[in-house]
Amino acid sequence: MTQLGNLEETILLLVMIMEDEAYGYSVSKEYHKQNGKEISISAVHTVLSRLEKKGLIKSEMGGAIEERGGRRKRIFKTTDYGVRTIQELKAHRTRLWNQLPQLQ
Residues in contact with other proteins by the rule CB under 8 A: 23-25, 40-43, 45-46, 49, 61, 64-65, 67-69, 71-74
Query: Residue 97: in which H helix or E strand, if any?
Result: helix 80-98
Min separation Cβ 32 and other proteins, Å: 11
E runs forming strands in 25-101 = 57-62, 73-78
Kindly state the smallest distance separating residue 56's Cβ from other proteins, in Å: 17
Shortest reach from residue 83's CB to other proteins, in Å: 24
